[in-house]
Amino acid sequence: MSELEFSDDSAESIDIKAILKKYLKYWYIFLLGAALSLTAAHLYLRYTTPVYSVKATILIKDESGADLSNSAVFSDLAMFQSNKTLSNVTLIMKSKGLMQRVLQKLSMQTSYFADGRVKVTELYGDRSPVKVIVARLDSAGLGKRFVVRIKDNNNFDLEESDDKISTHKFGEEITKKYGSFTVIADSDIALYREKRIIIRFNDLGKLANSYSNKLTIKGINEYGTMMELGITDPVPEKGEDIVNKLIELYNEEAINDKNTVVRNTIQFIDDRLIFLSRELTDVEKEVEQYKQQNKLTDIGANAGIYLNTAHSYNQQITDNEVRLDILNSVEAYLSKEENKDELVPTGLNITDPILGGLISSFNGLQTQRRRLLRTVTPNSPLVQNMNEQQENLRLNILENLKNIRDALLITRQNLQASAAQFESQVRQVPSMQRELQDISRQQGIKEGLYKYLLQKREEAALSLAVTPSNSRIIDPAKAGGSPIEPETTKIYLIALLAGLVLPFAGIFLKDVLNDTVQELRDVEKGTATPILGEIAHNETGNMLVISKSSRTSSAELFRLLRANMQFAAGGKENKVILVTSSMSGEGKTFFSLNLAATLVMTGKRVVVLGLDLRKPKLTQSVNLPNNIGITNYLISDTVQIEDMLQEVPEMPELIIIGSGPIPPNPAELILLPKIGTLIEELKADFDYILLDSSPVGQVADTLALAPYIDSSLYIVRYNYTHKKQLQIIDDLYKSRKLKHPMIVLNDAKKSTGYGYSYGYGYGYGNYYEEESNGLRSKIKKMVKG
């Protein structure tokens, strides 16, 4: 006898269309998942506090910039020549101390929040209906929260964390263990009546540290000194205020640093002017007394030529003396212990570039040390290191002063020697002239130094009034129009992907964990046994779905299965057909009855035997009694075959024989030779004998019928039969324990396998032509037995 094989021998390839079709049938789950995930994303975006980015652009001025410090008038004032680098500016602006002063200026020691329907919103600035004025706050109060519930225009309830509620008036000072404060009301207080206003006392140190970490500073380009300051905050107005105030305070402190140097210079000049004023007064009095004593009004011009030449040398000696006096003053200033940590006066006509550079470095280091002492203790290694550098610079300055002074002394000696040569030529001038000239020389020295210091004091005072800032704001702090967090497009995209991926994963996981037969491909993978055909899902609920007028999918597929059986017989006898399965519930009885009805419709005489002696269902399924059956026939010699035959009420031409009462030893009964006698006698009267047997996967009763059958049909039910049970039919097929086994797939739904479409919806007149075409396309080859 020939066998059918519908599977392809070639290597299995991935059927993308089948996979898509498999998942697209769950389109409603994907649609629901996408809708739920997008809804969740919308709610997340709706109730998540957005974060905004605030940015500002500033220009850091340097020595090459076109500012006041480069004017020729102030070119010798070292206070305008500090060299600021971008890295130093970054470190200063990100310092915790500067940020803490910013928060103090902005009165951020207290924060205000209002309860919403889902989230809490911060009320910043004028948005808060109340303000808290803190008179005293201990460390225990930092981070403290309490709730203000406005009752009317004058009173409010104060709720603390320990559920204590007290009533107060606006403007009344409230005293607690951790501090005292006053709550004042705004004009819009009526809008928040009976609403909760949450007030929190902030630890400015921790808050400053948080904002310093969030502050970003970066250069705009590699070659310029423009910088971009950025910060993120849920309240854009607060972020703008913090950045703007940070720039403002940085400029103020930079100006204060410069002004400190200028003030010290002015104080030094004022002290010298007082001293020089007294000396100049004494010299002028001495000249006056000398002329009065000697009655001198004019010295005469006789020695004019000699005097002019001598005067030139004397003028140089005067300049030399001025420089010596300045050096001595600076040296005395540096030598004093109380001036060790003070800035060295600058702008005193120190022409030596080395000395000027040392003084500028000393003052710069002194300024950095003062700024560092704002945030660290004097014992810090950084401060100690600066102290050592400062002491080394001071010693270097003193050593340089000594060298310059020695050089000036030598120059003075040379000038005095030259002047003495010309003065010897005027010895004829009265001695009074020479004495007056000495006095006048001292007077000129004092007057020159006095005028110079007055000029420098005016320059220093002017610079104090017009001290430029270190930076210029190019773009003030401005928040972006849309929040940077959460990113709306990104959130919706992730939600949409999650809404599609999760259902896909769920369906995939369900399929992976489901070990039942899902589709035709599973059967083809699990066994090499030929597949005879498929039976559609019975939607009617009736056991017998075959009738002459039936055009349901189930009826058409049974007709197609009948044709396949005739084709598979190949002209050989196929009268006794065994129907079995792996376990109970796979539809053996349903299949046996309807296959028999299909054969009856072709004019054949068919009988169905209920050989499942353990769980008889054949007679019950068609509402017939099961009083006399095969069990009675096997154990009694009086029961005849005619006594067991019963007609199916819906189709009288169909004959069935029930199993009869359940015996205590079904396995032994099925082995009796009378089974063979029964089948042989029935073969004489019937064209087809269908054996509705017990599941071969659970009991061995079915194998006892193997000698009497011509072919066997193995029922596999979709979504019921386990994949591992396919090994049973595969073993039966390979070991040939049953004759010519073939698989029938039961309970097929649309798209379960490729056989369901054949015969579905066709009219009775053109059915056989369509059935034949379907067979030609399905049968791949014949395997002859």
584-641 confidence digits (pLDDT tens): 888 999 999 999 999 998 889 999 999 988 888 888 888 899 889 999 999 988 889 8
Tens of pLDDT along 108-146?
899 999 887 778 888 888 888 889 999 998 888 888 888
- pLDDT category, 708, cuts 50, 70, 90? very high
pLDDT more than 70, % of the chain: 84
pLDDT at 690 over 80: yes
pLDDT at 75 over 60: no
- pLDDT category, 713, cuts 50, 70, 90? very high
Q: Token pair for residue 446? A: 């004092």
Q: Token pair for residue 555? A: 């009826």
pLDDT, residue 281, reads 82
Q: How far is CA 494 from CA 39, 117, 489, 501, in A?
A: 12, 26, 9, 10
Helix extents (H) in 195-302: 204-214, 236-294
As a whole number, the mean pLDDT across the chain is: 80
Q: Which residues, including other chains, have CB under 8 Å from residue 24's CB and lie 6 or more apart?
A: none
* Residue that is written with structure tokens 């369900």 in the block: 510
Q: Is 604:586 a contact under the CB 8 Å cutoff?
A: no
Q: Average pLDDT of 495-517?
A: 87
Tens of pLDDT along 156-203?
888 887 778 888 998 899 988 888 999 998 867 777 887 888 999 999
- pLDDT category, 497, cuts 50, 70, 90? very high
Tell me which range, 156-165, 325-334, 427-436, is most confidently predicted by mean pLDDT.
Answer: 156-165
pLDDT, residue 420, reads 74
pLDDT, residue 38, reads 92
Tell me how far the alpha carbon of residue 424 is from its chain's centroid.
94
In this structure, the strands spanning 645-648 and 651-657 are antiparallel
Tell me which range, 191-205, 374-388, 415-429, is most confidently predicted by mean pLDDT.
Answer: 191-205
pLDDT at 296 over 70: no
pLDDT, residue 717, reads 92
- pLDDT category, 32, cuts 50, 70, 90? very high
- pLDDT category, 40, cuts 50, 70, 90? very high
Question: 656 or 255: which carries more pLDDT confidence?
Answer: 656
pLDDT, residue 645, reads 92
- pLDDT category, 776, cuts 50, 70, 90? very low
- pLDDT category, 541, cuts 50, 70, 90? confident
pLDDT at 743 over 90: yes
CA 207 – CA 223 distance, rounded (Å) = 34
pLDDT, residue 62, reads 63
pLDDT, residue 754, reads 42
Q: Is 733:741 a contact under the CB 8 Å cutoff?
A: yes
Secondary structure (DSSP) of 292-305: HHHT-S---STTHH
Q: Token pair for residue 200? A: 């929190």
pLDDT, residue 344, reads 75
pLDDT, residue 121, reads 86
Starting at the edge strand found earlier in the chain, the sheet holding 645-648 runs 531-536, 741-748, 711-717, 576-581, 688-693, 606-611, 651-657, 645-648
pLDDT, residue 493, reads 94
CA 251 – CA 241 distance, rounded (Å) = 15
Q: Which residues, including other chains, have CB under 8 Å from residue 388's CB and lie 6 or more apart?
A: none
| DSSP annotation of 345 | P
Q: Is 745:535 a contact under the CB 8 Å cutoff?
A: yes
Q: Average pLDDT of 679-705?
A: 89
* Residue that is written with structure tokens 């000495």 in the block: 438
Tens of pLDDT along 331-377?
777 777 777 777 777 766 667 777 777 778 877 877 877 777 777 77
Q: Which residues, including other chains, have CB under 8 Å from residue 84's CB and lie 6 or more apart?
A: 60, 61, 62, 470
pLDDT at 248 over 50: yes
CA 477 – CA 459 distance, rounded (Å) = 36
pLDDT, residue 294, reads 59
pLDDT, residue 317, reads 79
CA 556 – CA 758 distance, rounded (Å) = 8
Domains and CATH numbers, the chain: 2-48+487-513 (no CATH), 52-252 (no CATH), 257-475 (no CATH), 529-768 (3.40.50.300)
Q: Is 456:24 a contact under the CB 8 Å cutoff?
A: no
Q: Which of 266, 264, 250 is nearest to 371 (CA)?
A: 250
Output the CA torsion 370→372→378→379 (10° steps): -150
